[in-house]
Structure 1
């Protein structure tokens, strides 16, 4: 074995991050293959590489048996003991069978096999690196695109961003830098395949963890996320530390933190509400930015009836039912929204059970701890809620249909 080969092994270890033991194992396997192929040998053999001495030797391996059936694989006990009296049945006898010109032939034949094993080792390292980063956020560069998929370079590997995981309002160009969420890492014959997303709720969670120190260190916890990527999202937050305002922590000074996240998501609007174990409070908060007069809860089918002022009905429902739909996904409760007039006509408001502001509750309860970022970037916090829709002309409609978290994809 030449010193050049030893130098090459050292270079591979440093440049590729592959241990020398892995490389030596690959070379030994290649030399075994080369020996059997070029010398028409079917017996068991072992190749020994001595890196210190720079030598390589081939040894045949035969099992010690009483009666020999295949001379290429077995040796009689008597013959084995003639070599070494210590041999017993079941032992393995090794004999050097290194051909004279084995070095030249082995070098030519083993090159491709060694290259393949090194490539497999590299792929294994890449897989191990990225499989541990599933459900994590990474920076990537848009490299190319085809009819359906976008391919994002992550450094050592090219990730796939499927069409269904792309934000429809975004346009991507080669060399654009984007943040993506790793959803799945698979082993394939071509190496590790990494799948990423821009629409997954986990992307929003990780962005808040990166932007809000209180979430990163666990002081503030994200309880649930409802997202319609590229358009609008809602998140609920909670803390056990009475000295910390969970909503304010996520908003940041003058809305800087949440605005930064919205910008990263191409202007996606984000509503931040405080989580509560009381479904009455939680559902009312989740319907922000609309004001809520009454929430009645049916525990059996996890449904709620929500009463809002007449002029807030369109706001509570939202575009194509978006606000109510997101609130249902966020809370896990079905939500039936009624205007105040309709609720009075039906006799369900004021309620005889449940919660009603008119029955002496704090009118500020549902105006606190709610934050929404508007489409044009202006924010409203603890003030008059925003909405970018004009009230629907037909705002006297009875109610909207139930919106259930179970009906939506997570």
Structure 2
């Protein structure tokens, strides 16, 4: 190795932020292993790389003793004082044992170590970038599929979209662009693993935050989300500003804002309801589009009995109980729906 190699390490430090000293120490450690492996040496050695000119030396480290038992690890006091008369017993003497062709091994080892450290540094940057984006939306391109995952190209890395995290109403093919929600970022020996979803309620929440300026600005607040991905969702919104209609802000002019989100979610129906701290009102709103006549609540059991007009019963319950189920998820209360005639006959 030579001064050009040291210059290259200096450039790496500037460009990649990888410490030159850390790299040199890693190369020295790798060269010790390389020396012992290639030259079948069991002696205690240290490798020293000159920080200015790149020269590499292998130094055997021997302890000064009265009587030498293992010459690979020990040196007599007499022999040590021939090197330097100041040596005492138990001192460590370093003797250069650099093999003739060690420069070639050093260059190969250095290249491998630097390449590995660059790869690790780049993985670290990718991890730091995406770990800060957990619970956020990214756009990627579908690359391929296996039995468990769709692989989504995010530019510098790939994300894993589990097959069961794709909405049941959509099918995707290679080359399709998708907005996905980052659920988890793991650090592994092979680099960061980024897991994404199309079914997570957080995707709906983030889409509204991106599409509705009033939510982004904090004027309108998303209080809760209930989602059956690909079929139907409910989102409860609220504004402390009485001059702002939170539902209207989310629907947008001529319904354009919510329609953009519906299109992104492949036609998923979205009910936007007004949140209220009065639980009877909130439960009534949550059962939209059904009309509600009365709500009776049991605070202790967090249950609500809801009475609706006879002709609204099927709408309130929804197809296969979906509307009632989503309203219960949205409010956090167990909801029992009865028609007027059912209550009258009890």
TM-score by length of 1: 0.74
Secondary structure of the equivalent of 1:337? Answer: strand
Tell me, which stretches of 5 or more residues in structure 1 are unaligned? 347-410
* 2:195 is the alignment partner of 1:184: no
The residue that corresponds to 1:402 in the other structure is none
* Other-structure match for 2:319: 319
TM superposition shift of 1:259: 1.4
CA distance in 2, matches of 1:94, 1:272: 77
Q: How many residues align?
A: 345
Q: Give RMSD over aligned pairs.
A: 3.1
| Aligned-pair CA distance for 1:342 | 1.2
2:342 is matched with 342
Question: Is residue 307 from structure 1 mapped to residue 307 from structure 2 by the alignment?
Answer: yes
**Cα shift readout 1:43-87 (whole Å, capped 9, x = no counterpart):** 444433334323233344567899988665567899889848598
Q: Distance in 1 between matches of 2:153 and 2:168?
A: 21
Matched, 1:257 2:247: no
**Distance in structure 2 (CA, Å) of the matches to 1:254 and 1:92:** 84
Hey, what does 1:203 align to over in structure 2?
203
Q: 1:229 to 1:74 in 2, by over 3 A?
A: farther
What does 1:77-96 align with in structure 2 at a 5 Å threshold? 83=84, 85=86, 94-96=94-96
Matches within 5 A, 1:31-42: 31-42=31-42
Report the counterpart of residue 283 of structure 1 in structure 2: 283
State how far apart, in whole Å, the 1-side matches of 2:78 and 2:276 are.
84
More helix as a share of residues: 2
Q: Which residue is equivalent to 1:52? A: 52
Q: Match of 1:158?
A: 158
Matches of 1:303 and 1:285 in 2, distance apart?
A: 16
1: distance between equivalents of 2:283 and 2:251? 21
Shift of 1:163: 1.1
Q: 1:211 to 1:24 in 2, by over 3 A?
A: farther
Could you say what secondary structure the match of 1:326 adopts?
A: helix
Pair 1:107 & 2:144 matched: no
Q: Which moved more, 1:34-43 or 1:291-300?
A: 34-43
Deviates more, 1:109-118 or 1:206-215: 109-118
Show structure 2 runs of 5+ residues with no match.
Answer: none
What is the TM-score when the length of structure 2 is the normalising length? 0.87
Secondary structure at the aligned position of 1:336 is classed as strand
Instruction: Provide the residue aligned with 1:247 in structure 2.
Output: 247
